[in-house]
Chain A
Amino acid sequence: MRALSEVPHRSVAGRRSSDIVIKVLAWIAASLGIALMGWVIVVCVQRGIAAWNWDFFTQLPTPVGEPGGGIANALVGTLIMTALATALGVPAGFFAGVYLAEFGKNSRFAHGMRMVTNVMMGIPSIIVGLFSYMLLVPTLGTFSGWAGALALAVIMLPVMARTTEDILNLVPNEMRESALAVGAPRWRATLGVVVKAARAGLLTGAILAVVRVSGETAPLLFTALNSAYWTIDPGQPYANLTVTIYQYANSPFPDWQEKAWGASLLIIVLVLGANITVRLIAQRGKQ
């Protein structure tokens, strides 16, 4: 073997320059992404802020051609429908994730379930909508908030399951063993100690699952549809922001188009708020 000092050296300059090239490429890619994002937000603010006034947040839509009115029913509808979907999808996804990380692990069933979860995450949301439509709309005889919530829940479920599994896998085995070693049964060790240790991450995962569905339109088009009235009972076509945007943006009326921008801005603000919440939780979790 030659002594390393006798071996020809690679040029340091070469390594440096490739270092710089990679850095510049990464910088360009990142700036491009941020610039596009910023652009979207700027446009939404510019066009949408004009629509924001008291009536916009408090009034029902006015009939075609009549100026004024708002999208209050769509805002409330979206909040309720998302809450229903969360109540369904997040716990289901959570327990699926707990099963995968804590109990199923490498069993054949767990592998199958993991694969199904991955496939579910890749299914276009419009197909999930179709599924929910098929399941509920003919049975209930009408488009409904239930069908919309079910579609959104089905989209949330795999997201929540995967995050839960990943986050629980980060909890060191010593934590499980310590809990078992003081005599805790497996389920108590899991829910009382392991899940607790991961709670900040799990909460973050849940919020991100909600954010994930907040902009979904396609699966709502033929499940919840939309409504021009106040909708509290989910057993009827349900007012919501995204389908409202879809319909208003496609309309020939400048007033509606402006409202579509306003509603878009509203969704952006809600998503931004959720992300800030996630950040705060993550920071508190670190302390």
Chain B
Amino acid sequence: MREPTTEVSTAEPQSQATVVPPRIEVDDVTQAGQERHSDLEVKMSVRNLDFWYGKSQALFDNSIDYYQNRVTAIIGPSGCGKSTHIRCLNRIYELYRDHKASGEIVLDGNNVLGSGVDVLDVRRRVGMIFQKPSPFPMTVFENIAYGLKLFYKLNRSELRDRVEDALRRAALWDEVKDKLNEPGTGLSGGQQQRLCIARTIATEPEVVLMDEPCSAIDPIATGKIEDLIEELKHQYTILIVTHNMQQAARVSEYTAFFFQGYIVEFGETTKLFSNPDQKQTEDYITGRFG
């Protein structure tokens, strides 16, 4: 097998259209995972998820389990539905009127997509980090305090302690402890992204979704964020979309390969990268198409 390269994303897109993605049976996936990891708890379970942008369907029958306190990488050529998939998990897609999802996303036994669900609570429990760091237009301190203040009545010192704690866990405290009252937008790109991570973990979510969190920042900052993911997974269930297969290999225990809206393969990262079951997975990780 060739070394996976990051260049695959720039390869010719035409090849995509000609490949018919195989349907993969849900049970195969979960059984394969459970056989070897029956001790692992499933934190979030996606069942038969379809997604539409208006009339155009972007996800087809996605079914997958995300294990508690594990990092799952989501890889696949651009436009294959990675972002769309994770945007269902906290229902953020609902901001747009013609975006529709159907199927089930079960978080600790409750269907997140169900009608009676408290969406705000889902979003507190399932945090999200975006591709482009987007600090709120307020001070560093207020950026972190924002989420806390939404859900809890904290007095000033409790608030300060929690902000500091979140910044420490996001490995940002030392860099910003003298800048707490300066605008969050004044930080560097990498710091902004860690600020966004701190903002997310401040409210102690259970699942953290990351959509290409390192694609807009430099390699050193990327290294810091990868270290951070390593730390955070003890406490959270992490999903990370990435274009970078070395990154997927470095940070994740499980990997899902998406293609044209289907989940083609899901399994242990080491297995998926060394000995994939599906031809398309192999083609992708060996850089034969993008």
Residues of A within 8 A of B (CB): 105-106, 172-185, 188, 192-193, 196-197, 199
- Contact B97 A196, beta carbon cutoff 8 Å: no
Of B32-40, B101-109, B196-204, B228-236, the one with at least 4 CB within 8 A of chain A: B196-204
Q: Find out whether the CB atom of B130 lies under 8 angstroms from the CB atom of A178.
A: yes
Report yes or no: B147 in contact with A176, Cβ–Cβ below 8 A. no
Check B132 for interface membership: any CB of A closer than 8 A.
yes
Interface contact B95-A183, CB-CB below 8 Å: no
B95 and A178 contact, CB distance less than 8 A: no
Distance, CA A106 to CA B98, complexed state (A): 11
CA–CA, A197 and B135, complex, Å: 10
A-B pairs with lowest CB-CB distance, top 3: A182-B147, A181-B128, A197-B137
Q: Interface of B with A (CB < 8 Å)?
A: 90, 92, 95, 97, 120-121, 123-124, 127-128, 130, 132, 134, 136-138, 146-147, 150-151, 196, 199-200, 203
Contact among A182, A197, A199 with B123 in the assembled complex (CB-CB below 8 Å): A182
Query: Is A182 touching B200 in the complex (CB atoms < 8 A)?
Result: yes
B196: chain A residues within 8 A (beta carbon): 178
| Given A177-B92, A177-B95, A196-B136, A182:B121 Cβ within 8 A | no
Tell whether, in the assembled complex, residue B147 and residue A178 are in contact, meaning their CB atoms are under 8 Å apart: no
Interface of B is mostly: helix
Instruction: Tell me the smallest distance from the CB of B154 to a CB of chain A, in Å.
Output: 15
A172 touches B134 (CB 8 A): yes
Contact present for B203 and A182 (CB under 8 Å): yes
Q: Whole-angstrom distance between the alpha carbons of A174 and B92 in the complex?
A: 11
Besides A182-B200, A185-B120, A193-B136, 16 other A-B contacts (C-beta < 8 A): A105-B97, A174-B130, A175-B134, A177-B134, A179-B136, A181-B127, A181-B130, A181-B200, A182-B146, A182-B147, A182-B150, A183-B121, A183-B147, A183-B151, A184-B146, A197-B137
CB-CB under 8 A from A105, the residues of chain B are 97
Is B137's CB under 8 angstroms from A193's CB? yes
Give the distance to chain B from A178, nearest Cβ to Cβ, in Å: 5
The distance in angstroms between the C-alpha atoms of A141 and B147, with both chains bound, is 54
Would you call A196 and B90 a contact (CB within 8 A)? no
Which residues of the partner chain B approach A182 to less than 8 Å between Cβ atoms?
Answer: 123-124, 127, 146-147, 150, 199-200, 203
